[in-house]
Amino acid sequence: VGGGGLIAGVATAVKAIKPGAEVIGAQSELYGAVKKFLDGYNGPVGGATLAEGVAVKEPSPRNLAIIKKLVDRIDVASEYEIEESVFDLLSDEKLVAEGAVGAGLAVIRKNLDRLKGKKVGLIVSGGNIDSRLLSTLILRGLVR
């Protein structure tokens, strides 16, 4: 979740089709602007993040209204969890994904017990990752 546009649209569609479905958003803990806003925190967000596609300091007010109404919760992932997820998507699924996708997978992994037995979907919407950064992630992932 960056500015909230994608999750607002997805939540609108999902809840229209299946009102009881749970919609969970994922953010980098460094740029958890939507989560922090929903939790009542108005302080600064930012820093160097692998999830640069969702590195938004202030979410859209229009999207926030939809998120408040339709999204069940927003979870955050650490940079380590995001990096590990991006590596695993490449290693296991042969899928080059940017950090924003890694945040989503990391949040799913953190909630495996709660999600067990449920149908789970992950939006994989981008592969815009710098090749030098990706090579560094691969090396670190292989060492783990």
Backbone angles phi, psi at 108, to 5 degrees: -60, -45
What value does the mean pLDDT take over residues 135-143? 93
Q: What pLDDT shows up at residue 44?
A: 81
Closest of 105, 90, 94 to residue 140, by C-alpha: 90
Q: What pLDDT shows up at residue 87?
A: 96
Q: Please tell me the CATH code under which domain 5-143 is placed.
A: 3.40.50.1100
Q: What pLDDT shows up at residue 62?
A: 95
Q: Compute the distance between CA of residue 136 and CA of residue 139 in angstroms, rounded to an integer.
A: 5
Q: What pLDDT shows up at residue 102?
A: 95
- Whole-prediction pTM: 0.90
Kind plus residue range of the DSSP H or E element containing 138 = helix 131-143
Give Dmax over CA atoms of the chain in angstroms.
45
* Confidence band, pLDDT 50/70/90 cuts, at residue 126: confident
Report pLDDT digits (tens) over 62-119: 999 999 999 999 999 999 999 999 999 999 999 999 999 999 999 999 999 999 999 9
Please indicate whether residue 125 or residue 10 has the higher confidence score (pLDDT): 10
DSSP code, position 87 = H
Q: Compute the distance between CA of residue 84 and CA of residue 78 in angstroms, rounded to an integer.
A: 10
Report pLDDT digits (tens) over 23-40: 999 999 999 889 988 988
Q: What pLDDT shows up at residue 48?
A: 87
What residue segments make up the domains of the chain, in order of their start?
Answer: 5-143
Choose the weakest-confidence range: 51-55, 71-75, 139-143.
Answer: 51-55
